[in-house]
Amino acid sequence: MKKITINEKPVAATHFAYDGCHKIYLLEDEADKAAAKRAKYDLLPIKSLPKTYMVSCACRFISNWKLNTHFALQFEEVCFGGAK
């Protein structure tokens, strides 16, 4: 599977955490996945990120779980590239 990009930033994550509304966190390692599970987030495969983003509320954002990389801030335009 091809890697995706978000606003031209490459995404290494294979999964993301989603709160069911607007919080989207990319899970970059097993520690991230474990923490997201403990926090009761839904864990989804990265291939479903574009669709999930489109159905999220307008307050949506995409960051990594560690919050040291932001792919899309709230209300920012998002461009997904790579795998479909």
* pLDDT tens readout for residues 12-56: 999 999 999 999 999 999 999 999 999 999 999 999 999 999 999
Using CA atoms, how far residue 78 sits from 2, 8, 46, 73, 74, in Å, is 19, 9, 15, 9, 10
Write down the pTM of the prediction: 0.92
Q: Residue 4 forms beta bridges with which residues? A: 82
Q: How many domains does the chain have?
A: 1
The residues, any chain, with a CB within 8 Å of residue 25's CB and separated by 6 or more, are 16, 17, 18, 32, 36, 41, 62, 63, 64, 65
The pLDDT value recorded for residue 83 is 58
Instruction: State which residues form the domain around 61.
Output: 4-82
The per-residue pLDDT for range 55-80, each reduced to its tens digit, is 999 999 999 999 999 999 999 989 99
The answer to whether the beta carbons of residues 4 and 82 sit under 8 Å apart is yes
